[in-house]
Amino acid sequence: MTTTRTRTAAAVLAALALAAGLTACSSSGSKGSASDAGSAGATASGPALSGTVTVFAAASLQGTFTDLGKKFEAAHPGTSVKFNFGGSSALAQSIVSGAPADVFAAASPATMKTVTDAKDAASDPKVFVRNTLEIAVPKGNPKHIAALKDLAAPGVKVALCAAQVPCGAAAQTALKAGGVTVTPVTQEQDVKGALTKVELGEVDASIVYQTDVKADAGKIDGVDFVEAAKAINDYPIADLAKAPNAAAAKAFVAFVESSEGMAVLTAAGFQAPAAAAASPSPSA
């Protein structure tokens, strides 16, 4: 009897030990799967972005890009977006001369070509928005300007962007299309400079972008003119070959082209090319 009980007890103990071993193996296997899943998730999401992204952008993008910079920083904690706004031609020259920058957003393909010809773009530039010209006049339009030809009337003082600046080149295209000759009292190096002359009452009119008139509607009025359709500007953007922060540069360009970025730009009056409007938001 004692032998039988001893054998039974031994069998029970062996069964318990086997069960415990199987449970341990199962538990260990489960933990390994969870760890692998975590590693896979980290790989899929990619490394977190960090550091400063330096963006050279056309002066007409100042309001929208400042907003987009804040949204980008919020979507990517640890990043900081620094802007250099100005005339596209001057910015392009700075880039090819070695100025440290991660992204270039120009107000015309011609100024972007300065950068691509120098092999300073890391990828092919993409047009992300378009912009149309408008005549800016002081509040109340004291000279009663109603069309492009009115800028050539005696006594009307006009400010234009310099011809080498995209807004200046576009203005010259529109004036030529309308057969209008204007002798400006000043030629500014970027569109904000031309607009400021109207704000201060130093000139009676200036040819700027619709987006600038919309952004400054509290201080000036705008006059549409038919010749503007002949001088619509495409705005290309590219990350740069010598970008100090290449990963963040690509991410910023993708953010500008995303649905979230396009919503900000079109709300400001920019026109969205179909390809840019269709891009998904990388911050989602």
pLDDT digits (tens, 9 = 90+) for 174-206: 999 999 999 999 999 999 999 999 999 999 999
Task: Please tell me the predicted confidence (pLDDT) of residue 40.
Answer: 29
Q: How far apart are CA 99 and CA 56, in angstroms?
A: 10
Q: How far apart are CA 129 and CA 272, in angstroms?
A: 5
Is residue 250 pLDDT above 60, yes or no?
A: yes
Is residue 46 pLDDT above 90, yes or no?
A: no
Is residue 24 pLDDT above 90, yes or no?
A: no
Split at pLDDT 50, 70, 90, the class of 155 is very high
Task: Please tell me the predicted confidence (pLDDT) of residue 204.
Answer: 98
Helix boundaries (H) for 97-156: 109-117
* Percentage of the residues of the chain whose pLDDT score is greater than 70: 80
Q: Report the SS3 class of residue 164.
A: coil
Contact 101, 243 (CB under 8 A): yes
pTM for this entry? 0.79
Is residue 28 pLDDT above 90, yes or no?
A: no
Domains of the chain, first to last: 51-129+234-277 (3.40.190.10), 133-230 (3.40.190.120)
Name the nearest CA neighbour of 88 among 238, 266, 267: 238
Is residue 30 pLDDT above 50, yes or no?
A: no
Is residue 38 pLDDT above 60, yes or no?
A: no
Angle at 167 between CA 188 and CA 122, to 5 degrees: 110
Helix boundaries (H) for 46-135: 62-75, 88-96, 109-117
Residues 79-108 as b or e (16 or more Cβ within 10 Å = b): bebebebbbbbbbbebbeeeeebbbbbbbb
Task: Please tell me the predicted confidence (pLDDT) of residue 16.
Answer: 41
Task: Please tell me the predicted confidence (pLDDT) of residue 265.
Answer: 98
Split at pLDDT 50, 70, 90, the class of 262 is very high
For the chain, count helices (H), then strands (E).
10, 10
More confident residue, 100 or 26: 100
**Helix (H) / strand (E) containing 135:** strand 133-138
| Dihedral of alpha carbons 224, 205, 86, 50, sign | negative
Amino acid at 81: V
Task: Please tell me the predicted confidence (pLDDT) of residue 272.
Answer: 86
Task: Please tell me the predicted confidence (pLDDT) of residue 274.
Answer: 57
Q: How much is the average pLDDT of 21-46?
A: 36
Q: How much is the average pLDDT of 87-114?
A: 97
Task: Please tell me the predicted confidence (pLDDT) of residue 279.
Answer: 38
